[in-house]
Amino acid sequence: MRGSLSLLALSLVPALVAAPPKAEPRGLDLAGMDRSVAPGDDFFAYANGAWVKKTEIPADRGSYGVGREVADLTDRRTADLIKAASKAPAGSELRKIGDFYTSFMAEKAIERKGLTPLQPTFRAIGAIGDRQALARYLGTTLRADVDVLNNTQYHTANFLGLWVAQDLDHPDQYAPFLLQGGLGLPERSYYLDPSDGMAAVRTQYTTHVAAMLKLAGLSNVLTRATAVVDLETRMAKAHLGREESGDVQKGNNHWTRADFPAKAPGLDWEAFFAAAGLSKPPVFVVWQPGAVTGLSALTAEVPLDVWKDYLTFHALQRWAEVLPKAVGEQSFAFYGKVLSGATRPRDRWKLGVEATNRALGEAVGKAYVARYFPPSEKARAQEMVANIKEAFRLRIERLDWMSPATKAKAIAKLEALKVGVGYPDRWRDYRGLKAVAGDAFGNAQRAERFEYERNLRKLGQPIDRTEWVMNPQLVNAVNLPVMNALNFPAAILQPPYFDPKRPMAMDYGAIGAVIGHEISHSFDDSGSLFDATGKLQNWWTPEDLKHFQASADQLVKQFDAYEPFPGLHIKGKQTLGENIADVAGLAAAYDAYRLSMKGKEAPVVQGLTGDQQFFLSYAQSWREKTREPLLRQQILTDGHAPASFRPSTVRNLDAWYAAFEVKPGQKLYLAPADRVKIW
């Protein structure tokens, strides 16, 4: 996955939304390169150094780069479509989009209502009088809001998260997966790391919790906030870290309903499941069993008054976007300034587009692809996918270390891979979602509940292998190993990643590498554990698996050596799946590009050979600048290496050395035996 995901009132969208974007120059950005840097020393700087020096990160962002540029253009286009939707016939799907967005943008109406929309929630929290009532309330907060693409729960700190997906052992049925939750900070290390920097973040977080409790009308807020952060710290101690949570085999734990009181005593599980609408499923997959056990114990140990303050804070934090301005400003003061380094909030219309995409994503996507993703581009992308799949198949067949039996299984999995390009085969039905003009808070709550109930309805139904987890208007891509499926949204299939007016060598280096990356995820350290049906099953011979793991270990060491800040290294194991996909995906994309040339050399363009165009296009596709607080957060919590280090993947491909005359002694040089070749 490349990495990232986003409602508003149309009449208030800035004029810039309606203005058509200026035509972008085609080809590579030669002016953004820094040719004073040897490509063999720092390929990212060589390809992007001048751009980095002259580019300022926008004040409302923690990072900025080519992906954000494309996403901003997409958001402006999407806002334009949403604005038009506000004039659609009453009762239509388009009008629902417009009413949702318009209500979000009506800040004066939101301000007039104050915290009134949240009073039923506050009353429900205040009525918690015993442990069973606590369990029931926690059950009502269970939502399908975990970020399954990054295995995190950020800004939506519910006690637990739900993910309804294909069962890893029984690929013909859905299972409810329960994941650890409850934290308001990004990851457990933010609570447990003793360093001065992390201690300062915790102090600022406590101040933020206190300020939010004060906005909720409570007194003695600093003492109460300290107790809330102490509770979250105890939760963090029970949590698994990012790396451990990524271990699929350790996460595949099937618990019956009777197992919960025995294995995780403390919480009244029957009351919890009943309130969550999960009274029927006989079996759950508990991804982090130690965390579930620890969190459950805390519901019996921690005073109810502390739990009530915790729930009050998170209710206010959760709905900050659709509450009065003071709440949103306080939320930004911590999550925007402290954690991301931004100096001003994002424009309201941008938040509106993001919220509308969360609530009615495929309805918006339907309008987006009708306007901006012509059939010709879908066909061109599908052809590229076919070429890269064929290149990957040939790479498997040529592997000298893999046995025929394992090769046959790998090719069978590749052939069964379902690739979605642009948009889903069947659009989601939003008739059950009610959008009321002027009710921003209610619309947001109903949208969240609609998504939760949509997921619950999957239980007991046949597996839908056509379902998408990304909106068409998202600049990203994803592999779903459990479904043996890929999503390539329409929004990433546009310049500069995918451009019909520039040489194909450049497209193969940019979007081709993305396609290869996602295909390769089916064969990375996690994807390789699933067979062609999505079942968690070892299909390797012991000798083949040993060779694969040795190559993976080699890549772990390669990334462990990168040090973005003194003493803070990239975590090679945590980022292993993405790094494997980068290496294998880039290699497959390169092979596909060469196959597309049918033995000929690509023409020289902008003074660059075809191979140089390919590799530079790859490096410029990872162009990004990130503020230090956000970069540190990414290193601790993200399964992806920072963008500026991902172009270094080229050091594992022999063709890169010849293209740029890379010599021994240069910083990125690897002896042929040390170049990682997994697939």
pLDDT tens column, 220-237: 999 999 999 999 999 999
How many Cβ atoms from other residues are within 10 Å of residue 382's Cβ?
14
Per-residue pLDDT for 211 more than 50? yes
Q: What is the mean pLDDT of residues 510-538?
A: 92
Tens of pLDDT along 424-464?
A: 999 999 999 999 999 999 999 999 999 999 999 999 999 99
pLDDT confidence of residue 1: 44
Per-residue pLDDT for 7 more than 50? no
Report which of 586, 595, 607, 606 is spatially closest to residue 650, judged by C-alpha positions.
Answer: 586
Sheet of 478-480, strands arranged across: 418-422, 485-489, 478-480
Q: In the block, which residue shows the tokens 């939320």?
A: 331
Confidence bin at 2 (pLDDT 50/70/90): very low
146 or 490, which is more confident?
Answer: 490
Whole-angstrom distance, CA of residue 509 vs CA of residue 605: 14
Report which of 242, 256, 238, 257 is spatially closest to residue 298, judged by C-alpha positions.
Answer: 238
Report which of 501, 473, 250 is spatially closest to residue 358, judged by C-alpha positions.
Answer: 473
Q: What are residue 178's phi and psi, to 5 degrees?
A: -105, 130
Report which of 541, 505, 539, 556 is spatially closest to residue 678, judged by C-alpha positions.
Answer: 556
> Which residue type, as a one-letter code, is found at position 557?
K
Q: What is the mean pLDDT of residues 247-270?
A: 96
pLDDT confidence of residue 12: 21
Cα–Cα distances in Å, from 48 out to 481, 633, 644, 645, 651?
33, 23, 9, 12, 17
Tens of pLDDT along 376-429?
A: 999 999 999 999 999 999 999 999 999 999 999 999 999 999 999 999 999 999
Per-residue pLDDT for 154 more than 50? no
Residues 6+ apart with CB under 8 A from 396: 402, 407, 410, 411, 414, 679
Per-residue pLDDT for 149 more than 60? no
Q: In the block, which residue shows the tokens 């009762």?
A: 91
Calculate the CA dihedral of residues 622, 626, 632, 638 and round it to 10 degrees.
Answer: -40
Whole-angstrom distance, CA of residue 438 vs CA of residue 534: 44
The average confidence (pLDDT) of the chain is 92
Alpha helices in 55-173 (DSSP H): 66-85, 93-105, 107-113, 119-126, 131-140
Q: Quick check: helix, strand or coil at residue 527?
A: helix
Cα–Cα distances in Å, from 68 out to 10, 62, 87, 575, 623?
22, 11, 29, 22, 10
* CATH for 11-77+352-423+472-674 (3.30.360.10, 3.40.390.10, 3.30.70.1730, 3.30.1050.10): 3.40.390.10
pLDDT confidence of residue 613: 98
Are 423 and 369 in contact by the 8 Å Cβ rule? The answer is: yes
Cα 87 to chain center, whole Å? 33
Q: Quick check: helix, strand or coil at residue 157?
A: coil
pLDDT confidence of residue 146: 55
Structure tokens at 240: 């698994």
Do 11-77+352-423+472-674 and 116-303 agree at the fold level?
Answer: no
Tens of pLDDT along 104-138?
A: 999 999 999 999 999 999 999 999 999 999 999 99
Confidence bin at 238 (pLDDT 50/70/90): very high
Q: What is the pTM of this model?
A: 0.90
Sign (positive/negative) of CA torsion 635, 638, 644, 646?
positive
Secondary structure letter of residue 489 according to DSSP: E
Q: In the block, which residue shows the tokens 């329960």?
A: 178
Q: What is the mean pLDDT of residues 280-292?
A: 96
**Rounded CA Rg of the chain:** 25
Q: What is the mean pLDDT of residues 348-354?
A: 97
Q: Which numeric CATH code is attached to 116-303? A: 1.10.1380.10
CA atoms within 13 A on the CB side of 524: 31
Are 517 and 590 in contact by the 8 Å Cβ rule? The answer is: no
Structure tokens at 601: 């050399």
Angle at 468 between CA 436 and CA 614, to 5 degrees: 125
pLDDT confidence of residue 438: 96
pLDDT confidence of residue 156: 52
Tens of pLDDT along 50-106?
A: 999 999 999 999 999 999 999 999 999 999 999 999 999 999 999 999 999 999 999
Per-residue pLDDT for 155 more than 70? no
> Which residue type, as a one-letter code, is found at position 674?
D
Q: What is the mean pLDDT of residues 276-305?
A: 97
Whole-angstrom distance, CA of residue 602 vs CA of residue 597: 7
Alpha helices in 280-374 (DSSP H): 289-301, 304-318, 325-331, 339-340, 348-372
Q: What is the mean pLDDT of residues 39-60?
A: 97
Residue percentage of the chain with pLDDT more than 90: 88
pLDDT confidence of residue 679: 87
Q: Where are the domains of the chain?
A: 11-77+352-423+472-674, 116-303
Which residue(s) pair with 176 in the sheet?
Answer: 164
Reported residue count of the chain is: 679
Burial (CB < 10 A; 0-12, 13-18, 19+), residue 652, is: buried
